[in-house]
Structure 1
Amino acid sequence: MPITLPAVLRHDRMMQVVAVLFLLDTAVMVVGMPYAEPLWVTLLGRLLVLTGCVTLAFRERGPVPVAVVVLLLTALYYPLGEQDGALMMVLYALALHHLAVAGRLIAAGVLAGVTLLAIAYAEAVTRAHGGGNVDDMAFLLIIGWFVGVIAFGHATRVRQDYLQEARRRALAAERERDARAQQVATAERLRIARELHDVLGHNISLIHVQTAAALHRGAKRPGETAELVRALESARDISREALRELRATLGVLRQVDEAAPTAPTAGLDRLPELVDRARATGLDVRLVTEGEPVALSPGVSLAAYRIVQESLTNVTRHSGADTARVTVTHTPDLLRLTIEDNGTGDPGETTGSGIAGMTERARALGGVLTARTTGTGFRVTAELPLT
């Protein structure tokens, strides 16, 4: 039948060492050091040592009571017989060491001081009667032993605190990295959603207008197919453009190297195409350029294109307007966009995600965007700084 050790011996390295020391000390006293001493004294001494060993097993629950109990056992053990050995003092030193590890430096110092005073008093009384077991050198060694044990325990405590703080900081840094990564991922999802909204929303709205108009004309005038064909051809061209922009956007999103472009190819130079597609829906759109054009960064050019695109989408979708005007004003410091229509759209539409997306685009570049009704329609104004 296999021998099963108690749990305290299986998991506590110090108690394993103490158990081995107890067995060796007992073997030395029984076998290697025969002496004329009553058996009950030997058995009582072994019982005191064993009690001290067992008491140390509870040092985690109450380090101060354990140290006090071991001190009392030590005080009872050494005056008991002639052959005492050093194991009991080792147990007491371990108790003091754990006090220091537990952060009870004052308690460890007080108990060590009480022990030294007791040893000094007992030695003085013994010498007064012509005896003496502890000379001055041995007493100094005991002092050094206690100081070293407590100092080592304190150093262990400091190291444990340092490692614990290092682990805490590492966990905090990991949580911060995770939170930052989550924020970056969220921002990226919002950017992708905004980009896809701008790419698809405009063209799909135009396709909807064209197909609805074609169906209406076909139902009103079944015999006239020329206008129906033109409307369907326009819807086909717009859908082709939507697919092209979608592929360009997805191609950029798939590129992960730093040298990859960060924006689709749409820019301010493609505003005429955008206006032509809006005109194909029946909306009378005028494109006006003021000032001397200057070189624009890709980010500003893309943002300007998307703002005009979303504004024209809102005109065709919500306002019921039949005319619109897009004014692009170039200045040395900023690019101003003004999109006006003569529609009667509900001002409440300004709270939609389209206006919010345009506002966010302008804000990301350090610019501003306003959208409000006027006496004759609706106006979107964006100012994008060039530097």
Structure 2
Amino acid sequence: MISLTIGWVGVISYFVRFPEEGNAVLAGAIVAIWTAAWFAGRAQYARVVGMEAKHQGDLARAALAAQQARAELDTERSRIARDLHDIIGHAVNVMVIHAGAGKGMNDADSDTRATFETIATTGRAALADLDRMLGLLEGGPERAPLPGIAQLADLGASISGEALSVQVTVDGDPGAVSPGVGVAVYRVAQEALTNVLRHAGASRAQVTVVIADEVTLTVTDDGRGGPHRPGRGLTGIGERVAMHGGSVRFGQGPRGGFEVWCRLPLGSTG
């Protein structure tokens, strides 16, 4: 269109300046301009069609590559789920079976039977969690609600026993916290209490959740305390909190023992 306009301006200017050239020259100029414009338009159209075809081809190749990547990812996720089920599921099942047998021993006192019952109950809960998470890993529907802040009291009760007393305090409305953040708070508390049982030599642990403009979780104990030693548990806590845009701190508690503290945004509840 621009070339055609320039051509017409040139022809008109020429014949205004040299009117004696006649109609034959004018007709020839018009034909030449239209011919040049037609070829230029066809060339431009061919370029546009070629670029569009290349673009569509690139999109098709990208979609195919993404589809293949998803298929490979699904295959790998299924393999991991099977391995976890076969290895961890089998081991926990054995623990639950032996705990049930120990609870039924005639010469076991009440404290021993209570300990075996705690082991069995915790093992069955772990199997349920494992089964639920493996279903999600394989892309299946969620078969039961994931635990959150409202289940922290049950977590504390399941861990409490002769060796360790766990107190749980929740200040605020758990419903104001998104499900994802609620699960993160629960898992952090679960891992922190597991560390208390394994490493702290404590007799008491306190889990405190405060829900306001954000969520804070504090887990303290009256154990040996001291600086934290890097390990999978604390590293996993840090990664889980960071995934939700929060921050975490480990170390000596204000009154001795060990403290795990983290802060997370409420997240979206919609």
- Asked if Structure 1 and Structure 2 have the same fold, meaning a TM-score greater than 0.5 normalized by the shorter chain, the answer is yes
Match of 1:354 in 2: 233
Instruction: Specify whether residues 164 and 289 from structure 1 end up closer, same or farther in structure 2 by C-alpha distance, changes over 3 A only.
Output: closer
Amino acid at match of 1:356: T
Instruction: Answer yes or no: is 1:177 the counterpart of 2:66.
Output: yes
Match of 1:241 in 2: 125
Match of 1:302 in 2: 183
Instruction: Answer yes or no: is 1:334 the counterpart of 2:218.
Output: no
* Cα distance, 1:328 vs structure 2: 0.9
Structure of greater Rg: 1
- 8 Å contact from structure 1 (residues 263, 302) kept in 2: no
Instruction: Specify whether residues 225 and 292 from structure 1 end up closer, same or farther in structure 2 by C-alpha distance, changes over 3 A only.
Output: closer
Q: Which runs of 5+ in 2 are unaligned?
A: 1-42
2-structure distance, mates of 1:173, 1:321:
56
Identity of aligned residues (%): 33
Q: Which has the higher contact order (CA 8 A, sep 6+)?
A: 2
Q: Equivalent residues in 2 for 1:164-313 (5 A)?
A: 169=58, 173=62, 177=66, 181=70, 185=73, 225-256=109-140, 260-261=141-142, 264-280=145-161, 282-313=163-194
* Cα distance, 1:263 vs structure 2: 7.8
1:8-41 superposed Cα distances (whole Å, 9 cap, x missing partner): xxxxxxxxxxxxxxxxxxxxxxxxxxxxxxxxxx
Instruction: Specify whether residues 281 and 359 from structure 1 end up closer, same or farther in structure 2 by C-alpha distance, changes over 3 A only.
Output: farther
Q: SS of the counterpart of 1:230?
A: helix
1-structure distance, mates of 2:143, 2:238:
20
* Cα distance, 1:180 vs structure 2: 6.8
1:310-369 superposed Cα distances (whole Å, 9 cap, x missing partner): 1111111122222111001111x21111011122367453x3222222222222222222
Match of 2:14 in 1: none
* Cα distance, 1:224 vs structure 2: 6.0
Q: Which is strand-richer, 1 or 2?
A: 2
Q: TM-score, normalised by structure 1?
A: 0.43
Q: Report the more deviating stretch, 289-298 or 351-360.
A: 289-298
Match of 1:44 in 2: none
- 8 Å contact from structure 1 (residues 319, 344) kept in 2: yes
2-structure distance, mates of 1:265, 1:380:
22
2-structure distance, mates of 1:176, 1:380:
43
Q: TM-score, normalised by structure 2?
A: 0.59
Q: Which runs of 5+ in 1 are unaligned?
A: 1-154
Q: Equivalent residues in 2 for 1:77-226 (5 A)?
A: 169=58, 173=62, 177=66, 181=70, 185=73, 225-226=109-110
- 8 Å contact from structure 1 (residues 328, 335) kept in 2: yes
Amino acid at match of 1:229: R
* Cα distance, 1:289 vs structure 2: 2.2
* Cα distance, 1:377 vs structure 2: 1.8
The partner residue of 1:365 within 213, 233, 244 is 244
The partner residue of 1:322 within 199, 203, 211 is 203
Amino acid at match of 1:327: T
- 8 Å contact from structure 2 (residues 174, 211) kept in 1: yes
Amino acid at match of 2:224: T
Instruction: Specify whether residues 311 and 296 from structure 1 end up closer, same or farther in structure 2 by C-alpha distance, changes over 3 A only.
Output: same
Q: SS of the counterpart of 2:251?
A: strand
